[in-house]
Amino acid sequence: MTALTNLLDLDSAQLIAYCGELGEKPFRAKQLQRWIHQFGASDFDAMTDLAKSLRDKLSTRAMIASPAVLKDHTARDGTRKWLLDVGQGNAVETVFIPEENRGTLCISTQAGCAVNCRFCSTGKQGFNRNLSVSEIIGQLWMAEFELRKSKSIEPGPKGERQITNVVMMGMGEPLLNFEPTVTALKLMLDDNAYGLSRRRVTLSTSGVVPMMDKLSQECPVALAVSLHASNDELRNSLVPLNKKYPLHELMAACKRYLEYAPRDFVTFEYCMLDGVNDTDAHAQELIALVKNPRDSAQSVSCKFNLIPFNPFPESGLKRSHDERIKAFARILSNAGIVTTVRKTRGDDIDAACGQLAGEVQDRTQVQARMEKMAEYQKKFGSNFGRIVEIVK
């Protein structure tokens, strides 16, 4: 029996080719794409402007299916997290962050992560597998129409879009799952699908230099780089990938990327770790890393996003104190670098940055370690592991 083709796996060009195999003209692919990505349709019979003969073909050869929702949690601040089944005991998490003027969806690209950054609980579970296109874009497809349904907003381009921004900052390293990630990005940008601006789609990488260059040529979107250290020795210990692509190579890659990027800056994400990377000296090293006082052309146009660490058992790390984070931010700001401090959202449902270990298949017993959180809170106080907004 022939397996059904999941149409969520196909971008515009692939869908045209698929329709061609069915003996259909290219305009049918555009109609089909709009039904799928603008109306959220999964039933071919509902696609009323398609010829019945085409609907009959599709009903026996194709399907439209995103990963099944295992759990759906909404935090006190409105942040919503879905746990999605991707088969063989694996699951990933998708997080929606509502704000006054936008709605941001944080998407996963892998089940687990192979990069194993020291401060990230997701990486501690180990790497399970790459996600397919349908599993990546399916997160956006599911979330957009689930949010509309919960607010009684009609599907289709006339309905108010709920997701205005997408960040690939969920589980996994997107550039280590390059082809499916880029295909999903193309669908996000396609006017016959979601029509998002390149400026409103951000890919976060730990610094896979060759793939950064490849992305700049194939599908440049806004770029965020998980930096977290001001020198190679420190970054080697926090982000093991740095041993392969050290800071001078990473900075050069960032400058190359900016030639094609939709924004004129790279965002450097920097997790604030008490006594590890948060001293005045570290801040000064960062300034020297990204700014060349003698030749501005050699500087990296950037902004810094300081992220209060979300502690988890056995990480061996603690969150920097609020005053230290403020002082660190002031040093960067005084040097003319735009600097923000991330407000952590959804921490009561483990949807905050670095917490997406989830209820997924556990390669290194992270679940058992996470269960120790109650013990740590009893020992160190109820606020251990919880992040509050830091006001500058």
HSE-CB for 205 with a 13 A CA cutoff: 27
3-class SS string, 237-265: HHCHHHHCCCHHHHHHHHHHHHCCCCCCC
Q: At what angle do helices 247-258 and 209-218 cross, to 10 degrees?
A: 10
Out of 19, 24, 93, 302, which one is annotated catalytic? 93
Find the DSSP H helices in 151-279. Answer: 178-189, 209-218, 232-238, 247-258
Out of 106, 120, 271, 353, which one is annotated catalytic? 353
pLDDT surpassing 70 at residue 374? no
Distance of CA 24 to the CA centre of its chain: 36
pLDDT surpassing 70 at residue 135? yes
Q: Compute how many other C-beta atoms are within 10 angstroms of the C-beta atom of residue 305.
A: 17
Amino acid occupying residue 198: R
Query: Percent of the chain having pLDDT more than 70?
Result: 86
Distance of CA 191 to the CA centre of its chain: 21
Which of residues 249 and 127 earns the better pLDDT score?
249
- Reported pTM: 0.86
Whole-number Å distance between alpha carbons of 149 and 111: 27
Average pLDDT on 140-151 reads: 95
Judged on CB neighbours under 10 Å (0-12, 13-18, 19+), 281 is: exposed
Whole-number Å distance between alpha carbons of 214 and 26: 29
Judged on CB neighbours under 10 Å (0-12, 13-18, 19+), 351 is: buried
HSE-CB for 368 with a 13 A CA cutoff: 4
Structure confidence at residue 347 as a pLDDT band (50, 70, 90): low
pLDDT surpassing 80 at residue 36? yes
Which of residues 365 and 194 earns the better pLDDT score?
194
* Backbone torsions φ then ψ of 185, nearest 5 degrees: -60, -45
Interior angle at CA 313, CA 308 and CA 319, nearest 5:
20
- Mean pLDDT of all residues belonging to the chain: 89
pLDDT surpassing 60 at residue 221? yes
- For residues 55, 61, 62, 63, the Cα torsion angle rounded to the nearest 10 degrees is 100
Helix, strand or coil for residue 325? helix
Whole-number Å distance between alpha carbons of 26 and 296: 49
The predicted structure's pLDDT at residue 312: 76
**Tokens 């869908």 appear where?**
15
Query: What domains appear along the chain, each with residue ranges and CATH number?
Result: 5-63 (1.10.150.530), 68-380 (3.20.20.70)
The predicted structure's pLDDT at residue 387: 38
Active site (annotated) includes residue 353: yes
